Amino acid sequence: MNRWIARIAVLFATCVFGAGIAGAQTRTVTLQWTAPGDDGFMGTAKTYDIRFSRSAITSANFLSATKLNTTILPGAAGSKENLTVVGLTAGVAYYFAMRAADVVGNWSPVSNIAYLSSGVAGIDGEMSGPIEFSSPQPNPVYRGSTRFAVTLPQAAWARIEAFDIEGRRVKTLAMGQYSAGHFDVRWDLTDDEGRDLSTGTYLVRGQLGDAVFLRRVTVVH
C-alpha cells in the first residue's frame, strides 16, 4: 500500500458565472481530475479530502484550508471525476487542492493547486509552451561537466540516463517528480560508481512526462 504518485490528483478548474441572492453575482467552479488508485495506479482509493481557501494552498497549510462538504467516493483508478462548487463570491480569488487516502488510512501528498481568480480558472505553477530537453553544452566535452537545459510546462515525472555506445547504462542523471519550470541537469562525466568516463560517445535519454529525447555526448581527454 501507499505507493502514491506525487501528483495524486491533477485538478483542472472551469468557471461559470451566475446570479446569486438579491442579484449579487456569484461564481460556480467545476473541478475535474483523474481518480488515483489505492496502490499507485491500481485499485480504488478509499476517500478524498478536497479543500479550498482564499489564499494560496501549500502542503504546509493544506489542513488549515476549508474542507468542502462532499461525500464523493473515488472511482476506479483512471476514472474521470468532477465536483461542482457553487456560490463563490465574484471578484474573490479561490484556491483548490485535494488528497486521497487508501484503505488503511495512508494519505497521499497534496495535489497540484487549481485556482479561480478574476474570472479566470487555471492550474497554479504551470507554464505555456512545449517540453524541452536541450543538446548538451558544451559538446564535445574535454573536462569538467556538461549540462542539459530542461523546460517543463507542468509538473512531470523525469528520468534522465546516460548509456555507452553499446547500450549499457553508465549513470542516472535525474529521476523523480519535477515541478513546472526551467532547470539544468548537469553531468560530471562520471559513472554511477563515481569513476571518470573513458573517451568516447555516450547517449543520454531524457524521458520527460510522455516525451522522450536522445542526445549524444562526446567525451575527449
Q: What is residue 13's predicted lDDT score, i.e. its pLDDT? A: 47
Mean pLDDT for all residues in the chain: 79
Cβ atoms 101, 49 nearer than 8 A:
yes
pLDDT digits (tens, 9 = 90+) for 72-131: 888 887 788 888 888 888 778 888 888 888 888 888 888 878 877 655 555 555 555 688
pLDDT digits (tens, 9 = 90+) for 139-155: 999 888 999 998 887 77
State how far the Cα of 155 lies from the Cα of 174, in Å rounded to an integer. 15
Gyration radius of the chain over CA positions:
22
Q: What is residue 9's predicted lDDT score, i.e. its pLDDT? A: 44
Contacts of 13 (CB under 8 A, 6+ apart): 29, 30, 31, 32, 96, 114, 115, 116, 121, 122, 123
- Give the number of other CB atoms < 10 A from CB of residue 209: 14
Q: Where in the chain is the domain with CATH 2.60.40.4070?
A: 132-219
Which of 2.60.40.10, 2.60.40.1510, 3.20.20.80, 1.10.150.110 is the CATH number of 12-123?
2.60.40.10
State how far the Cα of 80 lies from the Cα of 82, in Å rounded to an integer. 7
pTM above 0.75, yes or no: no
Q: What is residue 20's predicted lDDT score, i.e. its pLDDT? A: 37
Q: What is residue 6's predicted lDDT score, i.e. its pLDDT? A: 31
Phi-psi region at 166: left, alpha or beta (left = phi > 0; alpha = psi -120 to 50): alpha
Sheet (strand 25-34) strand order: 12-19, 25-34, 80-89
Kindly report whether the peptide bond that precedes residue 130 is cis, defined as omega within 30 degrees of 0.
Answer: no
Q: Where in the chain is the domain with CATH 2.60.40.10?
A: 12-123
Residue 9 is given by DSSP the state S
Sheet (strand 156-164) strand order: 169-178, 156-164, 200-208, 211-219
Residue 25 has pLDDT above 50, yes or no: yes
Q: What is residue 151's predicted lDDT score, i.e. its pLDDT? A: 85
Average pLDDT on 197-220 reads: 94
Average pLDDT on 18-24 reads: 40
Which of 3.40.50.720, 2.60.120.10, 2.60.40.4070, 1.10.3720.10 is the CATH number of 132-219?
2.60.40.4070
Residue 136 has pLDDT above 90, yes or no: yes
pLDDT digits (tens, 9 = 90+) for 181-207: 777 899 999 999 999 999 999 999 999
